Amino acid sequence: MSLPTVPHRVEFLHHPHPGLPHLTAWGIRIDGTDLRVLVAEATRTPWSLELDEDDDTPQEREEFLLRQHAPLHLDDDADGARARAHFLGDAPPHLRDRNTGALCLLGCSCGIDACWPMLAMVRATPTQVTWSGFYQLHRPEWGALPLGPYVFPRPAYEKALATPVPLAQDPLAPLLGEG
């Protein structure tokens, strides 16, 4: 007997893109935690196998983990239709893995979303939206990361997507010594 899935809560955020403040970013919180924090925790172990601990201080390693991805900069249109389509699973080809269909939920901190994407499968049904199978395209040896699945009630998901929370700065700026 399987346990019932507990629905998660998603918030979409609008704030200046980290490092490129002239661009608007689409940040994401799941159950109140920034997706970049969740990804940092999920990638801590694979990164520890690649990075030399003697090269950086513990604080520098934490900042690296948090800075490895950035919120997406999606071309804004007047009514947000492109962003809604993207987060409901209809991402443009350059923000999708052509082999799996997974789409980019976080981009690269350089400002080119497809450069270092965090991908996941996004499945929307009439009643829910599910994010699962998170992976880093450029690190196939990591496999699926220990994130999700996240199941969101579709009405609440669409409401959050239609009314992103406006913020004056990146919510992680204080953790990164920027706020």
Higher pLDDT, 11 or 80: 11
The residues spanned by each domain of the chain are 10-166
Q: Strand (E) positions, the chain?
A: 10-17, 20-30, 33-34, 103-106, 118-124, 128-136, 150-153, 165-166
Summarised one tens digit per residue, pLDDT across range 53-69 is 767 777 888 888 888 88
Pairing of the two strands 10-17 and 165-166: parallel
What tokens were used for 124? 């929307």
Strand pairing category for 20-30 and 33-34: antiparallel
Query: If you count DSSP H runs as helices and E runs as strands, how many of each does the chain have, helices first?
Result: 4, 8
Residue 122 pLDDT > 80: yes
23-62 per-position pLDDT tens digit: 888 999 999 999 999 999 999 888 877 776 767 777 888 8
**In 3D, which of 36, 39, 28 has the Cα closest to residue 160?**
28
pTM for the model stands at 0.90
